[in-house]
Amino acid sequence: MIMAQAGSIELDTTSGTPRTLLRGDWTLAHYLVLRERLANQPKPERVDLSQLGQLDTAGASLLSDWLGAERLGLLVDQASDLPAERLALLRTVSSALRDVPVVCPPPPPSTTREVLEHIGTTVSGQFLQLRALLGFLGLTLASLVQSLWRPRRWRITSLAAHIEQIGLNAIPIIALLTFMVGAVVAFLGATVLEQFGATIYTVHLVAFSFLREFGVLLTAILMAGRTASAFTAQIGAMKANEEIDAIRALGLDPMELLVLPRVLAMLICLPILTFIAMLCGIVGGGVVSTLLLDVSPTLFLNILQTDIPVQHFYIGLVKAPFFAMLIAIIGCLEGFKASGSAKSVGDHTTSSVVQSIFVVILLDALAALFFMEMGW
Rounded Cα gap, residues 221 and 216, in angstroms: 9
Rounded Cα gap, residues 113 and 109, in angstroms: 6
Torsion angle of C-alpha atoms 187, 193, 197, 200, degrees rounded to 10: -60
User: Taking the mean position of all CA atoms in its chain, how far away is CA 111?
Assistant: 23
pLDDT confidence of residue 129: 85
Domain ranges of the chain: 8-98, 127-374
Fold of 8-98: Transcription Regulator spoIIAA (3.30.750)
- Under 8 Å between Cβ of 163 and 183: no
- Under 8 Å between Cβ of 205 and 186: yes
Helix pair 311-318, 260-292: axis angle to 10 deg: 140
pLDDT per residue of the chain (376 residues) written in tens, 0 to 9? 344 566 677 776 666 667 777 777 777 777 777 777 777 777 777 777 767 777 777 777 777 777 777 777 777 766 666 777 777 777 777 777 666 666 667 777 778 888 888 899 888 988 888 898 888 888 888 888 888 888 787 888 888 998 998 888 999 999 999 999 999 998 888 888 877 777 788 888 888 889 888 999 999 999 998 899 999 998 888 888 888 888 888 888 888 888 899 999 999 999 999 999 999 999 998 888 888 877 888 888 888 888 888 888 999 899 999 999 999 999 999 888 888 778 888 888 898 999 999 999 999 999 988 888 887 7
pLDDT confidence of residue 174: 93
- Under 8 Å between Cβ of 171 and 269: no
Rounded Cα gap, residues 360 and 363, in angstroms: 5
pLDDT confidence of residue 328: 92
